Amino acid sequence: MTDLATTLAPERTAPVPVRPRERSAVGRRILVGVLAILLLAALWELIKVVVPDAGGHLGEASVLPRTDDLAMPHVWTIVDRVLEPETSATGSPTVLSAMLSACWFTLRVALAGWLVGSVGGLVLAAFMQRWQLAESALVPWVVLSQTVPLIALAPLVVGWGGRIHLGELEWQRWMSVALIASYLAFFPVTIGALRGFQSPPAAQVELFRAQAASWTRTMRSLRLPASVPYLLPALRLGAATAVVGAIVAEVSTGTKGGIGRLIIGYAQSASGDPAKPWAAIIAAALLGLVAAMLVSLLGLGLGRYRYAEVT
């Protein structure tokens, strides 16, 4: 009979070897990235040419997008728009600078959330590694929480803004956003760290046991280094979900200043200014990439622990 814990236990896949990254590979990656963007732009324009302006319907459902300049502006229109001022008001900053400052705002909130969530996840994973009972009791809940849309709670945290006082500290809206981001980062990191801590084979664990090494010592010298291949992808995934969480939370809490607000605000002006919403989307995409890249930098100093990576 399979029981709940094994049913819900994280799968144990073997590490996938990481090829050593050569310097030329970085240049190649950039080239591929540029090529992919160019192809995407070409595909975009092709769809505009091929698909009728009114889009396509299959019965009730619309299956092809409207392709007029209102719904799908030309690529060059979008690029132009990014470089122009945000509004017609004099002294208005360009859309680009608005994008960058929104990214910066959301990035900080998301990283704050990611940091809190990751530390929490590591601590919980160590706790579960230490006490088998805690693992049995909590892992099903952690896995479940990861698979159910807890992000749905986001609109409910809105109510907290300005209404909670923790001593001197007044609860700010951005804290609600960071809280949701941390919540989303927490689960992948917990699971990744737990799998990593449990990854050393019995022979290695028994070696430490035979030397009468303490739990802390085993954790520091064996489990923590061994967890790196599991932890890095988990931290990266955590950063990506933290960004999603921050954006969604901004939208549902109506927090100003970040990408979420920019997406909604620009979407509202879509009828008069069709290129603007796409600028916000590009900013969001870049934000996700930057957050993942920042976390990947953590891996740079950990070369010798990264003989493999498990996603």
Partner 1 sequence: MTAASVRRWAAPVVVGVVALAIWQAFVVGAGIKPYLLPSPTAIVEQLLLVVPLVWSAALATGMNVLVGLVVGAVVAIGAAIVAARSRMADTLLSPTAAALSVMPIVALAPALNTMFGTTSTTPRRVVVSVVVFAPVFVNTLRGLRQVQPVHRDLLKAYAATPRQITRTVTIPGALPYLFTGLRIASSTAVIAAIVAEYFGGLQNGLGSRITSAASNSAYARAWAFVLGAILLGLVFYLATLALERAVARRQGG
Q: Between residue 64 and residue 103, which ones bind partner 1 under the rule CB under 8 A?
A: 65-66, 70-72
- 133 forms part of the interface with partner 1 (CB under 8 A): yes
Nearest distance in Å: CB 105, partner 1: 14
Instruction: Give the strand pairing for 61-64 and 165-166.
Output: unpaired
Closer residue to partner 1, CB minimum distance, 113 or 222: 113
Rounded distance between C-alpha atoms, residue 131 and residue 137, angstroms: 10
- 252 forms part of the interface with partner 1 (CB under 8 A): yes
Nearest distance in Å: CB 130, partner 1: 15
Contact 258, 105 (CB under 8 A): yes
Nearest distance in Å: CB 35, partner 1: 7
- 55 forms part of the interface with partner 1 (CB under 8 A): yes
Interface residue with partner 1, options 25, 26, 34, 35 (CB under 8 A):
35
Residue type at position 209: R
Closer residue to partner 1, CB minimum distance, 121 or 274: 274
Rounded distance between C-alpha atoms, residue 186 and residue 178, angstroms: 12
Listed residue (88, 253, 248, 225) closest to 161, CA to CA: 253
Count of other CB atoms within 10 angstroms of residue 149:
7
- 215 forms part of the interface with partner 1 (CB under 8 A): no
Nearest distance in Å: CB 288, partner 1: 4
x/- track of binding to partner 1 for residues 280-299 (CB under 8 A)? xx--xx-xxx-xx-------
- 152 forms part of the interface with partner 1 (CB under 8 A): yes
Rounded distance between C-alpha atoms, residue 195 and residue 311, angstroms: 11
Instruction: Give the strand pairing for 16-17 and 308-309.
Output: antiparallel
Nearest distance in Å: CB 246, partner 1: 9
* The two structure tokens encoding residue 266: 């620009």
Interface residue with partner 1, options 25, 46, 53, 62 (CB under 8 A):
62
- 240 forms part of the interface with partner 1 (CB under 8 A): yes
Contact 199, 226 (CB under 8 A): yes
Nearest distance in Å: CB 16, partner 1: 8
- 27 forms part of the interface with partner 1 (CB under 8 A): no
Secondary structure (3-state) at 63: strand
| Residues numbered 220-239 forming contacts with partner 1, rule: CB under 8 A | 236, 239
Burial of 104 by CB count in 10 Å (0-12 exposed, 13-18 middle, 19+ buried)?
middle
